[in-house]
Amino acid sequence: MPLISRFILLLGVLLVSACAQQAPAFTPPSKRPLAANEQPWPKNHVLGIAYHDVEDRDPDQAVVAVRTERMIEQLAWLRENNYRPVTVDQIMAARNGGPELPPKAILLSFDDGYASFYTRVMPVLRAYNWHALLAPVGTWIDTPLNQPVDFAGTPRARSDFLTWDQVREISQSGLVEIAAHTDASHKGILANPQGNMQPAAATRRYDPVSKRYESEAEFQARIRSDVVAISEKIRKVTGKKPRVWVWPYGTADGTSLTVISEQGYEIALTLDDGLDALDNLMSSPRFLVASDPDGEHFANSVVGAQSDFVMRVVHVDLDNVYDPDPAQQEINLGKLIQRMADMGANTVFLQAFADPKGDGLVDSLYFPNRHLPVRADIFDRVAWQLRTRAHVKVFAWMPVLSFGLDAKLPRVTRWDPKTGTTAVDPDQYQRLSPFDPEVRRIIGEIYEDVARLTSVDGILYHDDALLSDFEDASPAALKAYAAHGLPGSIAALRDDPATLQRWTRFKSRYLIDFTRELTAKVRAIRGPQVLTARNIFAEPVLNPESETWFAQNLDDFLVTYDWTAPMAMPLMEKQTHAQSGPWLEGLVAKIKQRPGALDRTVFELQARDWTKKDQADIDGAQLADWMGRLKRQGATSFGYYPDNFLDNLPDLKTVRPALSNKWNP
């Protein structure tokens, strides 16, 4: 073919392709929203920056080291771009209503207690007159000069670490506050039967001999001994009790935090993302300087810390990992981890309960607990591997009410207007009545048990937390209605529109309050950094009047949970494929009417068509098209359920470019 002909043919293909793309509507520059990192620095916010060792050459990533020249370049960039280090005193004063923090406030911290802080960092701090935190590990500094340091099970040269005399001198400089990084808990301990080693300060130790986990009392006693020891060592050397706690590996724990607070600590530093708003100093995020970044990568990371987190989620059934054959189970787990890494998701909603029948009634769980059988103790293993190898956040996907507990416990019942009788609705989730105190106690204990798993970043509340306009008609529910000034029968509750509305709002708020109770129990054990998400059916979003049928309210969800997760599943809502795109756009438009709501909403698409008898898998191209429509409407956080990682459904290469932030933010 002549060259000119090929050019014309190529031009024609390009024109056709261009025409096939949906052009975004033009928005004048003055009306375009600013990206988070282009907006003014928010009032009284501080960015924590975490360094470790500093080496002149070949920085060792086993200790997250950076080159000396790069650290100097990074600190110079911060100074030239008007970032200003602040002290703990300034932070505490701002929190207590005193002088505001300066714009672009940063808190510099150096973990572990490396000798390089004395030889390489202090000269720069003195030259700049900049303040910082130093957080040594007690037993590492205790090590005699003629012995190697036991660095989490690996011997390292004693000369790599500071001495207490050097720590004293540093503390007297007026530039550095000494923080605590545990006494002897900067290491991993056995966390599960599969052999994972997890952070000692946040993990209930598993004993392979007795096949039992450390009790909460035993764990608390171990942590208290550690905190008291490091606090006293720092007080003796500096003359001051430490007030800043630095979590090893950035992994926080609520039980440990209680002990730390009792010992007088006022700030606890994690390695979570984002700026600290000073309203929760016991869970302060920090940016970790890792992989010896050059100036460009460091600058991009610091600026990017102002950006809102965008969730790209894959919702996974742990039932598909489980296998009675441990060898096959490990093969399944390997496939899941590889797929999540390849897919580019940053979050996994991971089933924590067993549902092999697919009926939604939970008869067993995938973690040790006090009330239901354990199908297999694998949740923590799978979640830990996902977090550390696929580098995703893991939310434990948990039912709220549909637990198959003691048959004597009251169930949610439906009042039949035709017969006037009450019974469990066979077409709905089989739910325990949340109005019964014993039900709430037992479910709360199950949530406490899942909270003890080190690998939980968040909780996803399942869509079983709903009550129809004929529910709950159980005696405990009727008693609760009457106690709150409502009629004590479903017939009377439904008889008057105003009363029906009051009843609906009462139930919606009651379910919200119950999940708040569960969240409080989880955070008390796991820590305040645990995030929450809750599934909401599409109808209450599209038609607020339908709250009556679900006891779910979008506005309630948006102010209660970190993430609201609409079930953006058009085929399940009886839409055709042709109607599905406009339906999704309408769903986004409804949520977008509320300022800022899209930043806290993650849309869950369907990867299976449950309206068909064979539950046909939805084509990856269709899923990618839906994701594209969501993005064009301004939605930034989305994902899909379910993922069949065993059979590559949906097709990874088709969905990945639409889902992954790495491919198409």
Same domain membership, residue 369 and residue 274: no
DSSP 215: P
Which of residues 279, 304, 329 is at a domain's end? 304
Express as a percent the part of the chain with pLDDT over 90: 90
2 within a domain of the structure (yes/no): no
**Tens-place pLDDT, residues 297-328:** 999 999 988 888 999 999 999 999 999 999 99
Same domain membership, residue 397 and residue 282: no
Identify the pLDDT of residue 470: 97
Q: How far is the C-alpha of 369 from the C-alpha of 19, rounded, in Å?
A: 57
Q: What is the mean pLDDT of the chain?
A: 94
**Tens-place pLDDT, residues 584-604:** 999 999 999 999 999 999 999
DSSP 389: I
CA 541 distance to own-chain centroid: 24
The three-state secondary structure class of 528 is coil
**Tens-place pLDDT, residues 321-365:** 999 999 999 999 999 999 999 999 999 999 999 999 888 999 999
**b/e per residue 523-553 (b: at least 16 CB within 10 A):** bbbbbebbbbbbbbbbbbbbeeebbbbbbbb
CATH number at residue 644: 3.20.20.80
pLDDT(663) > 80: no
Express as a percent the part of the chain with pLDDT over 70: 94
**Tens-place pLDDT, residues 114-133:** 999 999 999 999 999 999 99
Average pLDDT over residues 568-578: 96
Backbone torsions φ then ψ of 392, nearest 5 degrees: -120, 155
CATH number at residue 256: 3.20.20.370
Same domain membership, residue 81 and residue 227: yes
**Six token digits for residue 614:** 């064979």
pLDDT band at 19; cut points 50, 70, 90 = very low
Average pLDDT over residues 155-177: 98
pLDDT band at 661; cut points 50, 70, 90 = confident
**Tens-place pLDDT, residues 488-523:** 999 999 999 999 999 999 999 999 999 999 999 999
pLDDT band at 179; cut points 50, 70, 90 = very high
pLDDT(249) > 70: yes
**Tens-place pLDDT, residues 202-238:** 999 999 999 999 999 999 999 999 999 999 999 999 9
pLDDT(34) > 80: no
More confident of the two residues 427 and 16: 427
Same domain membership, residue 281 and residue 196: yes
Q: Which amino acid is at 348?
A: V
Average pLDDT over residues 446-467: 96
Domain around 203: 42-304
Identify the pLDDT of residue 17: 39
Which of residues 304, 322, 342 is at a domain's end? 304
pLDDT band at 33; cut points 50, 70, 90 = low
Identify the pLDDT of residue 2: 47
| H or E element, residue 621 | helix 620-632
- pTM: predicted TM-score of the whole model, two decimal places: 0.93
59 within a domain of the structure (yes/no): yes
More confident of the two residues 130 and 20: 130
414 within a domain of the structure (yes/no): yes
**Tens-place pLDDT, residues 70-106:** 999 999 999 999 999 999 999 999 999 999 999 999 9
503 within a domain of the structure (yes/no): yes
Total of domains in the chain: 2
Same domain membership, residue 411 and residue 300: no
Axis crossing angle, helix 497-526 with helix 475-483, rounded to the nearest 10: 100
Transcribe 31-95 into DSSP letters: GSPPPGGGSPPPTT-EEEEEE--EESSS--GGGT-EEHHHHHHHHHHHHHTT-EE--HHHHHHHH
**Tens-place pLDDT, residues 60-69:** 998 999 999 9
pLDDT(376) > 70: yes
Q: Which amino acid is at 466?
A: L
Q: How far is the C-alpha of 45 from the C-alpha of 285, rounded, in Å?
A: 11
**Tens-place pLDDT, residues 521-531:** 999 999 999 99
pLDDT band at 454; cut points 50, 70, 90 = confident
The three-state secondary structure class of 275 is coil
Q: How far is CA 480 from CA 141, 205, 433, 436, 506, in A?
A: 59, 42, 11, 9, 10
Bridge-based pairing state of the strands 197-199 and 188-190: antiparallel
pLDDT band at 7; cut points 50, 70, 90 = very low
- The angle formed by the CA atoms of residues 381, 386 and 387, to the nearest 5 degrees, is 100
pLDDT band at 38; cut points 50, 70, 90 = low
Average pLDDT over residues 270-274: 94
Average pLDDT over residues 280-287: 96
Which of residues 304, 325, 341 is at a domain's end? 304
pLDDT(16) > 80: no
Q: How far is the C-alpha of 74 from the C-alpha of 297, rounded, in Å?
A: 10
280 within a domain of the structure (yes/no): yes
Identify the pLDDT of residue 20: 40
Same domain membership, residue 202 and residue 317: no
Name beta bridge partners: 349.
315, 395
Same domain membership, residue 373 and residue 262: no
61 within a domain of the structure (yes/no): yes
Identify the pLDDT of residue 21: 42
pLDDT(535) > 80: yes
30 within a domain of the structure (yes/no): no
Same domain membership, residue 587 and residue 524: yes
Same domain membership, residue 631 and residue 599: yes
5 within a domain of the structure (yes/no): no
Identify the pLDDT of residue 572: 95
Same domain membership, residue 326 and residue 224: no
**Six token digits for residue 407:** 């048959």
Identify the pLDDT of residue 32: 53
